[in-house]
Chains A and B, each alone.
Chain A
Amino acid sequence: MADSALKASIFQRLHPRAYLERFVAESVRPDGRPFDAWRDVSVNVGSISTANGSALVRLGETTIVCGVKAEIAEPELDAPEEGFLVPNIDLPALCSPKFKPGPPSDEAQVLSDRLNEVLSSTISLSSLVIHPSKAVWVLYVDATCINYDGNVFDAALIAMVAALRNTTLPKATYNVESGLTTCSRTASSPLKMLKTPVSFSFGVFDATLLADTTAFEEPLLDTTISVVVDENGDLVSVVQLGPGVDTGAADTLSTCISSAKTRRVVLGGQIP
């Protein structure tokens, strides 16, 4: 028994593609899921007291912590009535053997940029103004990956949105004479969110559509598709990286979109 398990894990390391192909031929994935099944999501908010808002998200084994820190800055000259939303994701060497310590990897840069694009629709920057052209809030939304087991984009978006929904800002007043902004220790208010987008990512392996891919499956995919849906079932963003594929019955992209919408309804209750 132990011997055959060892042989399987060596085969997986040496021939990952053949390993996955054999599973797909049996209509199952290496972790026992059917092709269209998602891993469980758990969200825990507000556990970090040094942040204005925080969330810990687990998507299967993938783990992301996100904290929001609010600071005060002068707005840009050309946008005096707009605050700042600064999302970044860090993929430290801690989370996977494929990352090295140092500046953000290409993957982290791409993820940060995609997260920034989606998050910009969730908050109206004008709601972050304390005093026009003098003082605005800057929300630093920093996510750190603790365990990298695939589909980090979906997990990071859930973490960032949950952390923002958990964020409260102290009541701030700008003193015109002194030019100083002071905050109240007692009065605070939650952030106004316009949308709750959730992302659903798919991968295509040998003309088979896989939902919520793991770190083992990800490098073997030909195409990845991410569909971001808000709480009304409306599309926020659709991204396809890689060639379009024919997976049989319907058009792949429409299959993904309808599957994402169904899953959004199921997840609705679980995301605070």
Chain B
Amino acid sequence: MALDRRRINGPEESFPPVFDSDALQWKLEDARKDRSPDDIRPIFLQPGLISQANGSAYIETAKTKIACAVYGPRQSKNTTYSEMGRLNVEVKFTPFSCVRRRAPMRDAEDRSIAVAIHQALVSSVRLELLPKSTIDIFVTIIESDGLDGCVASGSVAASTALADAGIELLGLVTSCAASVVGKKLWLDPTEEEARLSKGTLVLSCMPALKKITSVWQTGEMKVAEALGCMDACQEKCTEIHSVVAQALLESAKI
């Protein structure tokens, strides 16, 4: 790998520590560790923490910590004339956000999460009102505990930040993940649970309009299971919607 002179470099190669014993693992047959199958992790949501941005939100769901900032609408640069505004989503993991260190290089994972969040949000934003403009959404994942959780929490944070920026939306987007572990359905899986599961699904919707904006399914799942996941997620999304609305209301009062 070429030496990057723009950063302070360490040795050419380094490896994560190898431990003498494996971390405690639990098996498929065991019950879920600290919550019931249809519980999601508690959400802490705070809009408006990043004073430099037009809108921002910080979300924490147990270990997952994500900051999101919205800049714009501002003039589109280097793009041809467009009647519709553009929504640009960039996701960045901090190097210490995962169990293994992420060297600061852009990899495919950031992009796929960015595409998923973009998909979840794009139909909620009234881009037809913003010709020649771009809305930039920057998401920084400070700590990750499961990719599906990052997509879901990232989408919720981004939608909150858009509302905080005063950008016209058709409705707030909320998002929830589900996984099929064995024969059971576990909502909002952690990284360890997602590894155990055979398939995961992230559903994003606008609960106020009862409309789905995106469904992102990976792994294998029976049709009935997928539908079951979607139903369970949609129910949770309605609950998350009131959390988001409450957080926005409180930040608007101050």
State the A residues within 8 Å of B (CB): 47-51, 54, 61, 63, 65, 67-76, 84, 86-88, 90, 92-97, 101, 103-104, 108-109, 112-113, 116, 138, 140, 142, 144, 146-149, 170, 172, 180-185, 215
Complex CA distance for A102 and B75, rounded to whole angstroms: 19
Instruction: Evaluate whether A146 and B50 lie within 8 angstroms (CB atoms) in the complex, with A51-B96, A69-B101 already known.
Output: yes
Q: Is there an interface contact between A146 and B140, defined as CB atoms closer than 8 Å?
A: yes
Q: Which 7 A-B pairs give the minimum distances between C-beta atoms?
A: A67-B96, A73-B14, A94-B138, A86-B10, A71-B14, A51-B96, A73-B11
Inter-chain contacts of A181 with B (CB < 8 A): 17-18
Q: How many residues of B contact A (CB 8 A)?
A: 45
Q: How far is the CA of A2 from the CA of B13 in the complex (A)?
A: 58
Residue on B nearest A68 in the bound complex, by CB? B96
- Chain B residues lying within 8 Å of A84, measured Cβ to Cβ, are 10-11, 14
B104 proximity list for chain A (CB < 8 A): 88, 90, 142
Q: A71-B17, A94-B69, A116-B8 are in contact. Are A142 and B95 (CB under 8 A)?
A: yes
B8 and A182 form a contact (CB under 8 A): no
CA–CA, A87 and B95, complex, Å? 12
Query: Interface on chain B toward A: helix, strand, loop, or mixed SS?
Result: loop
- Enumerate chain B interface residues (CB-CB to A < 8 A): 4, 6-11, 13-21, 23, 49-53, 63, 65, 67-69, 71, 90, 92, 94-99, 101, 104, 136, 138-140, 142-144
A138 to B10, Cβ gap below 8 A?
yes
**What 9 additional pairs, Cβ within 8 angstroms, besides A71-B101, A90-B94?**
A50-B97, A68-B96, A71-B14, A94-B139, A97-B52, A109-B6, A146-B50, A146-B140, A182-B20
Query: Complex Cα distance A211/B128, Å?
Result: 46
Instruction: Please name all residues of chain B whose beta carbon is closer than 8 Å to the beta carbon of A71 when the two chains form the complex.
Output: 14-17, 101
- Alpha-carbon separation in the docked complex, A182 to B104 (Å): 26
CB atoms of B94 and A142 under 8 A apart? yes
Give the chain B neighbours of A63 by CB distance below 8 A. 49-50
Task: Report which of A54, A146, A170 forms a contact with B67, defined as CB distance below 8 A.
Answer: A146
Closest chain A CB from B166 CB (angstroms) = 15
Enumerate chain B residues within 8 angstroms of A182, measured Cβ to Cβ. 18-20
CA distance A172 to B136 in the complex (A): 45
Supposing A48-B142, A67-B94, A67-B96 touch, asked if A185 and B23 sit within 8 A by C-beta, the answer is yes
Query: Which of A50, A70, A94, A148 touches B92 (beta carbons < 8 Å)?
Result: A94
In the complex, the answer to whether B138 meets A67 with C-beta atoms within 8 Å is: no
> Which residues of B sit under 8 angstroms from A116, Cβ to Cβ?
8
9 chain-A/chain-B pairs, Cβ below 8 angstroms: A48-B142, A67-B96, A72-B17, A73-B14, A92-B138, A94-B67, A95-B52, A96-B52, A185-B21
The answer, among B6, B18, B49, for a CB contact under 8 Å with A147, is B49
Residues from chain A with Cβ under 8 Å of B51 in the complex: 61, 147, 149
Which chain A residue shows the least CB distance to B139?
A94
Does A113 contact B65, Cβ atoms closer than 8 Å?
no
Of chain A, the residue at the smallest CB distance from B71 is A97
Beta-carbon nearest neighbor of B136 in chain A: A93
B144 touches A73 (CB 8 A): no
Bound together, the chains give a CA A92 to CA B139 distance in angstroms of 10
User: Chain B contacts of A47 at CB under 8 A?
Assistant: 65
CB-CB under 8 A from B67, the residues of chain A are: 94, 146
Task: Given the known inter-chain contacts A65-B94, A97-B71, please indicate yes or no for A86 contacting B17, CB distance below 8 A.
Answer: no
